[in-house]
Amino acid sequence: MISVNFQGRSGIVLGVANKRSLAWAIAQQMHQAGASLCFTYQNERLRAKMEPLVEDIGGAPLFQLDVNDDAQVDEVFAAAAAELGGRLDFLVHSIAFAPREELEGDFLDTSREGFRIALEVSAYSLVRTTRAMVPYVPEQGGSVITLTYLASERVVPKYNVMGSAKAALEHSVRQLAAELGPRGIRVNAVSAGPVSTLSARGIGGFTDILAHYREKSPMKRNIEAEEVGKASLFLLSDLASGITGEILHVDAGYNIMAI
Ligand code: NAD
């Protein structure tokens, strides 16, 4: 019988900004399943928000990491593995960013720099951090998860270049899954419905998007961050041992609707 038990397994969680972060919802599930965790924070301001959260789960190593800094990525993954007994069984990648002005006007007006930044932080970072993790994945294999959004597949007004970034991210999931499959490393994504987080509130008309999902989704409600956490736990666990390169929608069914 397979149960979700991460005792003896360890991983690194990227993208906790505060208690509302999807990364935190995932971390809580992983912690409850017995995993040993370490976390990264983008800057000192966010470290102060993280410390009390991490204390609530009995403490965990914290490392500062800006995913644009290649040297720092390698250093942090080496330090994280060292803290966790030399192994990293899983990686939670829950990071995205686009300059605010790119999420306000028309996609047609996307700047060269805005496009570069959005794709670098939100998509390339998955490739780069997965590469940094691979040397520490035990022989039996490991698992990577990232967070995406339906704007990769459909047009979501105002989401603009973040849709381009999510399309690149989802392609990266498939490409990494194909290359790392023989090494026993699975790579998947959860495509989450809207959840009120720090990043989401930066999208113009986010409250209207939440209401639209409540009205149109088959389940007639918004999802909870906890539901993203549970689906991520499943994908990271042995229950999903035959699944890789998958984009799993956790959106109360919204994506199946045409009108
Ligand atoms: P959040 O603001 O809590 O998390 C975003 C994280 O990205 C933050 O921790 C931030 O510090 C980090 N980050 C940004 N730039 C970084 C950099 N250069 N280096 C290191 N870290 C950096 O918001 P969230 O909604 O939890 O977002 C997490 C992921 O979920 C994102 O990929 C987002 O696109 C995705 N997502 C969110 C929703 C939603 O509605 N909230 C829906 C679908 C997908």
Helix axis angle, 125-133 to 70-83, nearest 10°: 40
Provide the pLDDT for residue 205.
86
Q: State how far the Cα of 59 lies from the Cα of 83, in Å rounded to an integer.
A: 13
Provide the pLDDT for residue 2.
61
Burial of 86 (0-12, 13-18, 19+ CB in 10 A): exposed
Average pLDDT on 170-180 reads: 98
10 Å Cβ neighbour count for 107?
A: 16
User: 12: left (phi > 0), else alpha (psi -120 to 50), else beta?
Assistant: beta
Give the tokens for residue 2.
Answer: 């397979």
Percent of the chain with pLDDT over 90: 95
Burial 231-243 (b: 16+ CB within 10 A, else e): bbbbbbbeebeee
- 94 C-beta closer than 6 A to ligand 1: yes
Report the separation in Å between the CA atom of 154 and the middle of ligand 1, taken as the mean of its atom positions: 20
Please write the tens of the pLDDT for every residue from 93-104: 999 999 999 998
Q: State how far the Cα of 233 lies from the Cα of 240, in Å rounded to an integer.
A: 9
Q: Which of 199, 210, 224, 227 to mutate to test the pocket of ligand 1 (most atoms within 8 A of CB)?
A: 199
Cβ–Cβ < 8 Å for 14, 38: no
User: How confident is the prediction for the chain on average, in pLDDT?
Assistant: 96
Q: State how far the Cα of 229 lies from the Cα of 118, in Å rounded to an integer.
A: 24
Report the separation in Å between the CA atom of 251 and the middle of ligand 1, taken as the mean of its atom positions: 17
List, by residue number, the catalytic residues.
Answer: 149, 159
- 53 C-beta closer than 6 A to ligand 1: no
Average pLDDT on 106-130 reads: 98
10 Å Cβ neighbour count for 128?
A: 18
- 222 C-beta closer than 6 A to ligand 1: no
- 163 C-beta closer than 6 A to ligand 1: no
CA 51 to mean position of chain CA atoms = 20
Average pLDDT on 212-230 reads: 98
Provide the pLDDT for residue 1.
60
Please write the tens of the pLDDT for every residue from 28-80: 999 999 999 999 999 999 999 899 999 999 999 999 999 999 999 999 999 99
Provide the pLDDT for residue 201.
87
Taking CA atoms, 248 is separated from 66, 78, 131, 163, 257, in Å, by 27, 30, 23, 17, 16
